[in-house]
Amino acid sequence: MILNLFFKMSMGEFGEAVSSFVGDTEDPGFMSTLKILMLLLVVSSVTRAIFWFAFNRNLSAILTVLGIAVAVFAVFYFLMVELHSPNSSQHVITMADNAPSNLDNYRAQGKTAFVVGYTGETGKELVKELSRTKIFDKVTLIGRRKVEYDSDLLKDFNVEQKIVDFKTLEESADLFQGHDVGYCCLGSYAEGDEGYERVDRDYILTTANLAKQGGTTHFHLVSVRGASPERTPLYYRIKGEVEEKMKSMGFDRLSIYKPGLLMCDREEIRPVQWILQKLFTPVVFFAPYVAPGVGPVPTTTLATALVHVTAAPQQQSLEILEGRDIHRLGNSS
């Protein structure tokens, strides 16, 4: 049993490994116990830290205790969520295992693609990965501004940039004609409620509609972990609503990616995400092996996953790829 546990952990199936060791993860009693332990841990640690500081006035000691408490709390939290994260399907495992041969076979088909949102962090990495793998005969970048790429990226890479105004995107419908594959990496995390509705809903749905009308058969949507029409936070609700509308558009193949915290070096400053990235930087190394279902995802990993899914033969019309799937696909060679 112990050897089996370590084998599953080494393969990135941490949730499955713990599940096989402790029993049924759907047992509400087990999950309730974990929650109680987490609460007791935090309460006892904070109480101890307060008394320690009150009697010793040792700030470094209290910070150490609180730091340990937060770390252990995070471990319990990731454990709880990871236990409820579904393991990768056989379809995803097959795509990852066959990635090299799939790329070669797909490259020979002479297809074309467009990328919307190529100026964002995920879009930038996707363009680099498309340049590296060269699986398309031509790639069209559709966005609001032109990006100057270095000569190494453009070498033997047939790419063209088209500048549009997203407020009147329908007037540029001709740019979406004749592409086999479409990638949508649009997002407006820092723009507030109006930005969510305009960019994360209106612009994305318009892009998808124009792609469908233009003949795109395989559409990729970068969404977010936790997106649902039932969620209270507007950002997650809009993302969820867009996902549901996408499913009814009738693409031959729709791939939806739902990563957690994206790890990258952003040009603009997002204070909360910056702090979280600094805290989670050490976790990125272990995430594929310890908590791939809920851990942070580097944008480079997501970009690689996008390309590997593209090249994989279609087995189903709808693919929803969570963090575990993205790590498996993005780290396959």
Residues with a catalytic annotation lie at 235, 239
- Rounded to 10 deg, the angle between the 323-330 and 90-97 helix axes is 20
Question: 220 - beta bridge partners?
Answer: 183, 255
Q: What is the token pair recorded at 109? A: 């088909």
By the 8 A CB rule, do 187 and 117 touch?
yes
Written as six digits, the tokens of 250 are 């009738």
Which two three-digit tokens encode residue 219?
């559409």
Neighbours of 226 (CB within 10 A): 13
Q: Count other Cβ atoms within 10 Å, centred on residue 108.
A: 9
Instruction: State the alpha helices, DSSP H only, in 2-87.
Output: 2-10, 14-22, 28-56, 59-83
Q: Whose CA is closest to 280, among 78, 65, 10, 66?
A: 78
Residues 289, 238: Cα–Cα separation, whole Å: 31
Amino acid type, 252: D
Residue type, 316: Q
Residue carrying structure tokens 């969820």: 240
- For residue 141, give the nearest of 153, 25, 152 by alpha carbon: 153
Partners of 321 in the β-ladder: 257
CA–CA separation, 58 and 275 (whole Å): 25
CA distance 332 to 98: 9
Asked if 257 contacts 223 with a C-beta cutoff of 8 angstroms, the reply is yes
